[in-house]
Amino acid sequence: MSAELSIIVLAIVAGAYMAWNIGANDVANSMASAVGAKAITLRQALVLATILTFLGATFVGSHVAQTIRKGIIDSEAIGDPRVILVGLLSALLAASLWVCLSTYKNLPVSTTHSIVGAMIGFGLVAGGPSVVNWLQVAAIVSSWIISPLLSGLTAFLLFRFIDRLILARMETVKGAVTTAPILAAATIFIMTLSLFLDTPLGKRMGIQGAEVLVIPGLVTVLSYFISSMVLRYFVLRSKFRTAEEIFRYLQVMTSCYVAFGNGANDVANAMGPLAGIYFIVTQGSVSDTAPVPTLMLAFGGFMICVGICTWGYRVIETVGSKITHMTSIRGFTVEFSAATMILGASMLGLPVSTTHAAIGAYIGVGLARGLEALDLRVVWKIMLYWIITVPVAACTSVIIYFILSTIFLGR
């Protein structure tokens, strides 16, 4: 077997493992609260998560993935395509190993930050500190504080808003009739805006600048009136007894959106470096961006789905039945806040993680006295893992790079 073929095989295995991890953990998280709140059954959650993740990964996942994620290192400064080839593989393997270890330790780490840390490690040994984009590193460090803080603040305010306008009333349904359509419209706005903002779909439709707000704006207004009318119709026929029943539908919407978004965004973490390796092997040159064949995205999507169906269902089942009782209102608040923050940060170009945003949102709801009990010691432990993700992935990447360069580059 030639060296290039061995590298491609290894890269496929590492990329597949990374995608599997995304499915097993991150996507499962998106559906677990909906199952916990009994808004949907476990089977429905699995079907929805599998379909939406696959669709998100294959059709909205970036077709031109950044091979060097988030432009963290300057590939031109390194020059030699063979070094970058081995470096990309080292980064992918190091990130996979780190995600694997944190999976074993029951702690959520960001797959994006793992791959970024691994890239830094490889960049440092291959080209020295000058090839690393330290501004981007600073942005990542700031995101450890910014993403949980902003999503926490959003969740806190949203829960207080729902608490004051809906839950504090004797007849919660009456409060929900006026408030829920606003929240439904806001959810739809976030969902449609993220479909067009900086996505292949938006580019294909030639949407630029402020134009991106037109379709989501129209859909939002329309959805407000439709949801308002539908809600009033059902309330008049006494279909709902409490606001919680209304929020079930909103929660399923946000859960679906998070699953779709995970497929669309995170597939690049697994397939981006793989596409880069494939590009170097086939073209013999380096590029900051490389076309990702639809088949590769579909493979990434498929592996995420395998992750959902093999381990994801256990995560959903455990959370849904054993860990805690999540109401739909809390689940909706957490998911809506995390999704809003992710979208806002994307617009500002900040590299934020869904996991970080979700944890911030849980703390926000907890501070608004919305959760029955939240253990902050676990939160600190999780945060410690976020911080060490980048240096550990970087160090692992360096070790793997030295081993692989001895094998493949004879150094």
**How far apart, in Å, do the first and last CA atoms of the chain sit?**
20
> Among 37-45, 77-85, 191-199, 240-248, which window interacts with another protein (CB under 8 A)?
240-248
- What minimum distance in Å lies between the beta carbon of 411 and another protein? 37
The only residue of 176, 188, 382, 394 in contact with another protein, by rule CB under 8 A? 382
Nearer residue to another protein within complex by CB, 155 or 195: 155
- Answer yes or no whether residue 44 interacts with another protein by CB under 8 A: no
Region of 76-84, 87-95, 161-169, 275-283 interacting with another protein (CB under 8 A) = 161-169
Selected from 14, 32, 140, 267, the binder of another protein by CB under 8 A is 32
Per CB under 8 A, 183 contacts another protein: no
Minimum CB distance to another protein, residue 228 (Å)? 22
**What pairing do the DSSP bridges indicate for beta strands 64-66 and 289-291?**
antiparallel
CB burial string 173-199: b at 16+ within 10 A, e below = bebbbebbbebbbbbbbbbbbbbbbeb
Among left, alpha and beta (phi > 0; psi -120 to 50; other), residue 128 is left
User: Which stretches does DSSP call E strand in 40-171?
Assistant: 64-66
The residue among 154 and 199 lying less far from another protein, judged by its C-beta, is 154
- Identify whether the C-beta of residue 60 lies closer than 8 Å to the C-beta of residue 300: no
Q: Is 43 in the site for another protein (CB under 8 A)?
A: no
**Tokens 């559906």 appear where?**
31
- The DSSP code sequence of 92-145 is HHHHHHHHHHHHHTT----HHHHHHHHHHHHHHHHH-GGGB-HHHHHHHHHHHH
**Sign of the alpha-carbon dihedral angle for 328, 334, 339, 340:** positive
Applying CB under 8 A, the span of 4-12, 68-76, 239-247, 273-281 interacting with another protein comes to 239-247
Among 392, 339, 393, CA closest to 361:
339
Shortest Cβ 348–another protein spacing (Å):
24
Inter-CA distances, 274 with 10, 84, 87, 242, 277, Å: 10, 12, 11, 49, 5
Of the listed pieces 133-141, 199-207, 252-260, 312-320, which binds another protein according to CB under 8 A?
Answer: 312-320
d(CA 396, CA 98): 8
- Tell me: does residue 311 bind another protein (CB under 8 A): yes
Shortest separation between residue 325's beta carbon and another protein, angstroms: 6
**Contact flag: residue 315 with another protein (CB under 8 A):** yes
CB 181 within 8 A of CB 228: yes
- 200: part of which helix (H) or strand (E)? helix 200-204
Q: Is residue 367 a contact residue for another protein (CB under 8 A)?
A: yes
| Given 362, 386, 401, 408, the residue binding another protein (CB under 8 A) | 362
What are the residues facing 65 on neighbouring strands? 290
Q: Is 73 in the site for another protein (CB under 8 A)?
A: no
Q: Judged by CB under 8 A, does residue 20 bind another protein?
A: no
Q: Which of residues 254-273 bind another protein (CB under 8 A)?
A: none
Cα–Cα distance for residue pair 247/328, rounded to 1 Å: 6
Contact call for residues 386 and 181 (beta carbons, < 8 A):
no
Among residues 372, 391, 403, 411, which is the contact residue for another protein, using CB under 8 A?
Answer: 372
Q: State which residue, 280 or 371, has the beta carbon closest to another protein.
A: 371
Q: Please give the structure tokens belonging to residue 102.
A: 């944190």
Q: Is 167 in the site for another protein (CB under 8 A)?
A: yes
Stretch that binds another protein, among 99-107, 190-198, 231-239, 403-411 (CB under 8 A): 99-107
Quick check: 157 binds another protein (CB under 8 A)? no
Binder among 106, 208, 238, 285 for another protein (CB under 8 A): 106
Q: Please identify, among the stretches 72-80, 110-118, 259-267, 358-366, the one whose residues bind another protein according to the rule CB under 8 A.
A: 358-366
Calpha distance 66→273 (Å, rounded): 8
Binding site residues, another protein, CB under 8 A: 24-25, 29, 32, 103-104, 106-108, 163, 167-170, 172, 242-244, 311, 314-315, 318-319, 323-327, 329, 355, 358-359, 362-363, 366-367, 369-380, 382
